[in-house]
Chains A and B, each alone.
Chain A
Amino acid sequence: MPSGPSTPPVPTIHEAERESGPSGAVLRGPLIEMAAAVARRKAGQDVVVCGSDVDANRRLAYQIEATVGPATRPQFPHTSAGPMSLPHLHQRNRSPDGHTFYEADKRKTKKKP
Chain B
Amino acid sequence: MKYFTRERYLAFQNFDDAAMDAADDEWENATDRYEAYLQTIRPDMPESVRQLEDGFYFHDARVLSMGRRDETFVISLQLDVPPNELLTITYALAGSPEVNKEPFADGKDTPSPWWLYEEIEQVGAGDRKHFVHSILFSNGWEISLPFSDVQVSRAEPVYPLPGTVFVPASTPAVAPSA
Contacts and interface: CB of A to CB of B under 8 A. Distances in A.
Interface of A: 36, 39-40, 42-45, 93-97
B172 A43 contact: yes
A97 B172 CA distance: 8
Nearest to B169: A95
Contact of B175 (A42, A94, A97): A42
Contact of A94 (B169, B173, B174, B176): B169
A2 to B, nearest CB: 43
Contacts of B40: none
Contact of B173 (A36, A42, A93, A97): A42
Chain A interface mostly helix, strand, loop or mixed? loop
Contacts of B174: 43
A74 B165 CA distance: 29
Closest 3 CB pairs of A and B: A95-B169, A43-B175, A96-B172
B175 A93 contact: no
A97 B175 CA distance: 13
Contacts of A36: 175-176
Contacts of A42: 172-173, 175
A94 B169 CA distance: 8
Contacts of B173: 39, 42-43, 96
B170 interface: yes
24 contacts: A36-B175, A36-B176, A39-B173, A39-B175, A39-B176, A40-B175, A42-B172, A42-B173, A42-B175, A43-B172, A43-B173, A43-B174, A43-B175, A44-B172, A45-B175, A93-B169, A94-B169, A95-B169, A95-B170, A95-B172, A96-B170, A96-B172, A96-B173, A97-B172
B175 to A, nearest CB: 4
Contacts of A45: 175
A40 to B, nearest CB: 5
A39 B170 CA distance: 15
Nearest to B168: A95
A7 B70 CA distance: 55
